[in-house]
Amino acid sequence: MTTFSLPWRGGLIGAYYYATLPGRMLINASAARNAKAPVMVIYYHRVADRKLNDWTISNTQFKREVDWLEANFDLVSLDEAQRRIREGNTRASVSITFDDGYAENCERALPLLIGRKIPCTYFVTSCSAQEGKPFPHDVADGTPFRPNSIEQLRSLAAAGVEIGAHTRSHADLGKITCEERLRDEIVGGRDALERELGVEIRHFAFPYGLHENLNPVAFRIAKEAGFAGVCSAYGGYNRPGDDPFHLQRIHADPEILRLKNWLTVDPRKVLRIERYLYELPNPKDHHGKEVQRVRDAL
């Protein structure tokens, strides 16, 4: 079911944002001087002007957000984001990503990024692209939107868009205990895309991406398979010195004020959002324990 924010809630967010902005600017400037500026990753799903829902943003709003991002941040690739997390960051940066792979993104949103030479990583569910079938969550919502075709993805890759893996079937990996099935979703989905597109797939994004949708065994499989990094989707900031293999992402909200509130580093979110802590589990323990962040091992 689609949900919409109440006007008074938007007013409260605006009041909070503008009241705290001077303090944020001082804190962010200090972090930048110490090469500790945040390295943020945002994600979109579908950019279109019909049948707007919780995972769709209009083309007009997308352009407004890109204009603001371009004026206020370094817009960088995921590879560059990871380098800044490892080595330090002197200006707040944002990486733009998309999940799933919707055909309508090729009409205006992606050409806008390509035309401005803004880096972008496009995470694709391989079966939907290969078979042309709508995503199960769209079917359940009564909106069977068309996925990207293989031909569209080849054109995007040729234009410089990084294609990423997003499992074979958009499975909830947090519910899967069979390591063989996890490997097929993560590595099999990537391999299928590489065969179809003739490009190297270096990054992976968990479907749904909240804590309950992640899986420490999946992290290990992705690392062993040679992925450069994986993305979650529960919010939060990446800082120099954090784990560069796991990139936390922020939802690019249709309301630009909410996005501004996130990306200027909301102190409430810094305090409330905990990183997903994982360890490389014992092979006999198919769930592992979320007790230790992997740093040096990754």
Each residue's pLDDT tens digit, 81-91: 999 999 999 99
Smallest CA-to-CA distance from 236 within 38, 66, 16 is with 38
Average pLDDT of the residues in 164-168: 98
57: how many CB neighbours lie within 10 A of its CB? 23
Q: What is the pLDDT of residue 297?
A: 28
What is the C-alpha to C-alpha distance for residues 277 and 24, in angstroms, rounded to an integer?
Answer: 27
| pLDDT of 69 over the 90 cut | yes
Each residue's pLDDT tens digit, 9-36: 557 889 999 999 999 999 999 999 999 9
| pLDDT of 151 over the 50 cut | yes
Tokens 């959002």 locate to: 273
Each residue's pLDDT tens digit, 30-53: 999 999 999 999 999 999 999 999
What is the C-alpha to C-alpha distance for residues 277 and 293, in angstroms, rounded to an integer?
Answer: 5
> What's the angle, vertex CA 194, arms to CA 193 and CA 199, rounded to 5?
120
**N residues, the chain:** 298
Q: What is the pTM of this model?
A: 0.90
- The residue that leads in pLDDT, 293 or 127, is 127
Q: Residue 266 corresponds to which tokens in the numbers above? A: 């909301």
**One CATH from 3.10.130.10, 3.20.20.370, 3.40.640.10, 3.40.1390.10 for 7-272:** 3.20.20.370
Residue 106 DSSP class: G
What is the C-alpha to C-alpha distance for residues 100 and 44, in angstroms, rounded to an integer?
Answer: 9
Burial of 73 (0-12, 13-18, 19+ CB in 10 A): middle
Give Cβ neighbours of residue 224 (< 8 Å, ≥ 6 apart): none
Q: What is the pLDDT of residue 253?
A: 87
Instruction: Tell me the CA distances in angstroms from 180 to 168, 175, 193, 218, 251, one per residue in order.
Output: 13, 14, 19, 11, 30
Q: What is the pLDDT of residue 9?
A: 56
The distance from CA 77 to its chain's CA centroid, rounded to whole angstroms, is 12
Task: Report the relative pairing of strands 246-247 and 39-44 from DSSP bridges.
Answer: unpaired
Each residue's pLDDT tens digit, 218-249: 999 999 999 999 999 999 999 999 999 999 99
